[in-house]
Amino acid sequence: MIRSARLIGAAIVAALSTALVQLQMADGSIAAAPEPSAVIAYRAPVVRPVADLLAIQGIRLRSGRLLSARTHRVLRPTAFPPRVKWAGQPVSLADEVPEGAALSVVQGRDQVERLVRRRVQSHADTHAGLYLPGAPGIVELRVGAVSGEVVSRRVIRPSKHGPLRIPGSVLLTFDDGPDPTWTPQVLNLLRQRHVHAVFCVIGREARRHPDLVRRIVREGHVLCDHTESHDEHLATEPLAVARGQIAAGAQAVWVATGQRPTWFRAPGGAWSPMVERLAREQGMTPLKWTVDPRDWQRPAARVIVARVLEAARPGSIVLMHDGGGDRRTSAAALRSLLVLLPRMGLRFAEPTPG
């Protein structure tokens, strides 16, 4: 009874396993097992790589991109990879899973970089040698942590300049030269009165008339970069174009004089934080103006004179032109202003390098 039960058990084992080819009999002897004739109950599952299963199901994985804070340009195209899970566990594309496995897919999402706060010094930029240096200000910027793009700026403490170097002084500035007709006339008038000014030269014109650029320096005036080709859209140009315009203008001055200009003035007053930063990066200080008699529109000399006299006060920076067209009335106005401004109690500032 016991013996036959053990034999039956052995036969069942033999039927279930192809590996079992020998049987141990109940009395200890070894007997050859019969070839298994029954269909094997266990069938190995078909497995496939995760990548194949996703392809079969038409699922395309997407990475999320890291985008910059302000312009949303792509900083890292695959910053946030998609995630695939099987039975709650992460799997890679090469992992093999059963054919019917239920995979869960979380696509990567685009994300904007985080912002950081950064405090920087700000500078009073309208002194142009008129004022003694004062206390720099503090500006708090919110910038992209990766791109450095400025999203917002807040003045924590405004910059201050010191008192006027020469009490009661105004600064004369001349733009858009050098011009072979008008620049010498302006220089002659200034020399007669022992007055010095800032000349904001256009790179292209400075290359044409390097002798005039050298004369400006030789006679004690100060040079200012006014871009290569008087780009009035500097603030909206692509960064590389704006940087190139500023660099080429400065280079023209350097070629003519062996000195780099220390001031920069944006043509048409097209200032922006980017333009100011580019100028500073290239070692120049932004030079703005406070009195604009619009002499470039060629009003009569007396109109230019009246506009300047009405607006000028201690610390004024007066914008006039010695190039860019017929500057007859500008030169005539200058002749009068060199006499009339001192009569109003104003004096002429001695421009200094930035």
Binding-site member from 125, 175, 179, 231 for Zn ion (CB under 5 A): 175
> Would residue 175 show up in a list of annotated catalytic residues for this protein?
yes
- Least distance to Zn ion from the beta carbon of 226, Å? 6
Separation of CA 318 from chain center: 32
Distance, CA of 139 to CA of 150 (rounded, Å): 12
Q: Which whole-number Å values give the CA distances from 119 to 81, 276, 277, 283, in the listed order?
A: 34, 17, 15, 21
Residues 6+ apart with CB under 8 A from 240: none
Q: Given the residues 125, 127, 161, 175, select the one marked as catalytic.
A: 175
203 binds Zn ion (CB under 5 A): no
**Residue 142: beta bridge partners?**
117, 152
Number of residues that bind Zn ion (CB under 5 A): 3
Residue 185 C-beta: closest distance to Zn ion, Å: 18
In terms of CB distance, is 161 or 230 closer to Zn ion?
230
Residue 45 to residues 99, 104, 167, 346, Cα–Cα distance (Å): 8, 20, 95, 97
Q: How far is the CB of 179 from Zn ion (least distance, A)?
A: 12
> For Zn ion, which is the closer residue by CB, 66 or 333?
333
User: Which range of residues in 23-31, 171-179, 187-195, 331-339 is near Zn ion by CB under 5 A?
Assistant: 171-179
Burial class from Cβ neighbours inside 10 Å (0-12, 13-18, 19+) for residue 293 reads: buried
Which amino acid, residue 269? G
Length of the chain measured in residues: 354
Tell me the window of 26-34, 110-118, 170-178, 208-216 that interacts with Zn ion (CB under 5 A): 170-178
Residue 179 sits in the site that holds Zn ion (CB under 5 A) = no
> Which of the ranges 12-20, 150-158, 264-272, 342-350 carries the binding residues for Zn ion, by CB under 5 A?
264-272
Give the per-residue contact string, 206-225, with Zn ion (x = CB under 5 A; - = no): --------------------
Using CB positions, name the residue nearest to Zn ion.
Answer: 175
Residue 267 found at the interface with Zn ion (CB under 5 A): yes
> Which of residues 243 and 321 has its CB atom nearest to Zn ion in the complex?
321
Min dist. Cβ of residue 275 to Zn ion (A): 14
* Pick 312 or 319: Cβ nearer Zn ion: 319
- Cβ 176 to Zn ion shortest distance, Å: 4
Residue 268 beta carbon to Zn ion: minimum distance, rounded to whole angstroms:
6
Tell me 269's DSSP state.
G
331 vs 320: CA distance, rounded Å: 9
Instruction: Examine residue 176 and tell whether it contacts Zn ion (CB under 5 A).
Output: yes
Q: Would residue 321 show up in a list of annotated catalytic residues for this protein? A: yes
Q: Is 321 helix (H, G, I), strand (E, B) or coil?
A: strand
The two tokens of residue 341 are 């401004």
Query: 3-class SS at 146?
Result: coil
| CA–CA dist 6, 191 (Å, integer) | 127
Omega cis (within 30) before 178: yes
Phi, psi of 162 (to 5 degrees): -80, -170
Binding window for Zn ion (CB under 5 A); candidates: 88-96, 162-170, 174-182, 346-354: 174-182
One of 125, 127, 321, 322 is an active-site residue; which one? 321
- Catalytic center residues: 175, 321
Contact positions toward Zn ion, by CB under 5 A? 175-176, 267
